Amino acid sequence: MGLFTKLKNKIEQNKKKEQEISNYDKGLEKTRKEFVSKLNLLGIKYTKVNDAYFEELEDILIGADIGVNTVFKFMDRLRERVKKENIADTKYLMEVIVDELFIIYVNNESLSTKINIQENGPTIILMVGVNGVGKTTTIAKLAYKYKNENKKVMMIAADTFRAGAVEQLKIWAEKTESIFYGKENTDPAGVIYDGLEMAKKEQADIVFIDTAGRLQNKVNLMKELEKINKVIDRIVPNAPHETLLVIDASTGQNGILQAKSFKEITNITGIVLTKLDGTAKGGIVLAIKEEVDLPVKFVGLGEKMTDLQTFDIEEYIYGLFKDMI
């Protein structure tokens, strides 16, 4: 029995997870229709494994935005396994393909999706990412999640020079009943300093810090983030506890480039992948792991406040391939 078959049985027996699985199911519908239907057609077109089969499979995987480097490594592993196990039947090979894609992400190590919540004092979460990826609404959805877990949440608006950014975060703070601190057209580090002092006085449990999303000049952004990190550490030692990079899943390989760029300039601890439900390129999850080696901690599977979910590789793989095997 393959890894995926075991996983499928385990998930289908776990009724408690029904709602989460349903969200992954709906959120990955576009990718599944596009990607898995092509894989299924490939299995019908070819009954025996040959070079033409491998070439078409490679194109399908690249089209799902799994990433060229990841696909090449994957194809090498697959060819080796086919040769070693003498696999000729394309139907059986489908299960092997799903297993190997699963192995890419797990890779004998456990990338934690857990947020480093502090038992004493506030947990500081720095949010970074280019403009337009859904950073502010992600903060709102995370605030909503933690408010529902009875945490006292605060938002600090450190994207101080972008028109309307501070006001936008303030509105979300009001909607989620979070504490808010922000000032326009001023030094972001200064805003963070005052905001964190307020967070300590208010005894906030979780503090989200919104930052500017400019990546055009990496040197300036690096200096700004260095300054921000020093200020945070001064007020709350050993913070930020998480630096989450928000990426729009629909940008595909551009999102991978953003992850690589941000990883060069600051210590990213995890990825939030937004708009996964709006794209057929859901394979980006596998590419992020292979090419950037950062854990995806949350995924956006819809518009609702509850549609931002803690990433679960098993539910992701199941949501992607459940119709196939």
How does pLDDT run across 193-251, given as a tens digit for each residue?
999 999 999 999 999 999 988 777 788 888 999 999 999 999 999 999 999 999 999 88
What pLDDT sits at residue 209? 98
**Average pLDDT value over all residues in the chain:** 88
pLDDT confidence band for 108 (50 / 70 / 90): low
* % of residues, the chain, pLDDT over 90: 50
Same-domain pairing of 95 and 151? no
Q: How far apart are CA 270 and CA 242, in angstroms?
A: 8
CATH of the domain at 13: 1.20.120.140
Q: Of the segments 2-16, 29-43, 96-110, which one has the largest average pLDDT value? A: 29-43
- Relative to beta strand 206-210, strand 123-128 is parallel
pTM: 0.89
DSSP summary character for residue 36:
I
Same-domain pairing of 141 and 285? yes
What pLDDT sits at residue 15? 54
Which one, of 320, 273, 290, 301, lies nearest residue 129 by Cα?
Answer: 273
240 preceded by a cis bond (ω within 30 of 0): yes
Burial 281-290 (b: 16+ CB within 10 A, else e): bbbbbbbbbb
Q: Is residue 225 part of a domain?
A: yes
User: Which residues, at least 6 apart from 323, have a Cβ–Cβ distance to it below 8 Å?
Assistant: 32, 36
Q: Is the pLDDT of residue 111 over 90?
A: no
Q: Is residue 319 part of a domain?
A: no
Q: Is residue 111 part of a domain?
A: no
Cβ 209 vs Cβ 235: under 8 Å: no
* Domain edge (last residue) among 72, 106, 140: 106
Same-domain pairing of 27 and 130? no
Cβ 238 vs Cβ 118: under 8 Å: no
Cβ neighbours of 192 (radius 10 Å): 28
Tokens representing 272?
């939030």
* Number of domains, the chain: 2
Same-domain pairing of 158 and 232? yes
Same-domain pairing of 192 and 285? yes
Q: Is the pLDDT of residue 192 over 80?
A: yes
Q: Is residue 114 part of a domain?
A: no
* Domain edge (last residue) among 50, 80, 106: 106
What pLDDT sits at residue 30? 86
Same-domain pairing of 250 and 295? yes
Q: Is the pLDDT of residue 7 over 80?
A: no
Q: Distance between the two ends of the chain, CA-based, in angstroms?
A: 12
Same-domain pairing of 186 and 258? yes
How does pLDDT run across 207-219, given as a tens digit for each residue?
999 998 877 778 8
Q: Is the pLDDT of residue 1 over 60?
A: no
Q: How large is the average pLDDT for residues 155-170?
A: 94
- Relative to beta strand 242-248, strand 123-128 is parallel
SS3 189: helix
Q: Of the segments 17-31, 127-141, 311-325, which one has the largest average pLDDT value? A: 127-141
* % of residues, the chain, pLDDT over 70: 91
DSSP summary character for residue 182:
E
User: Which residue did the predictor score with more confidence, 35 or 168?
Assistant: 168
Which one, of 245, 320, 315, 322, lies nearest residue 281 by Cα?
Answer: 320
Same-domain pairing of 168 and 284? yes
Length of the chain: 325
CATH of the domain at 228: 3.40.50.300
What pLDDT sits at residue 114? 83
Q: How far apart are CA 252 and CA 64, in angstroms?
A: 9
Same-domain pairing of 269 and 170? yes
Same-domain pairing of 231 and 132? yes
Q: Is residue 322 part of a domain?
A: no
Q: How large is the average pLDDT for residues 180-191?
A: 95
Same-domain pairing of 204 and 268? yes
What pLDDT sits at residue 179? 98
Domain assignment of residue 31, given as a range: 3-106
How does pLDDT run across 34-81, given as a tens digit for each residue?
888 888 889 889 888 999 999 999 999 888 888 888 899 899 999 999
Q: Is the pLDDT of residue 107 over 70?
A: no
Instruction: Write down the H helix ranges in the chain.
Output: 3-13, 18-27, 29-31, 37-45, 51-63, 68-85, 90-106, 135-147, 165-175, 188-202, 218-235, 253-265, 284-292, 313-321
Q: How far is CA 115 from CA 30, 126, 204, 243, in A?
A: 28, 12, 16, 10
Same-domain pairing of 66 and 160? no
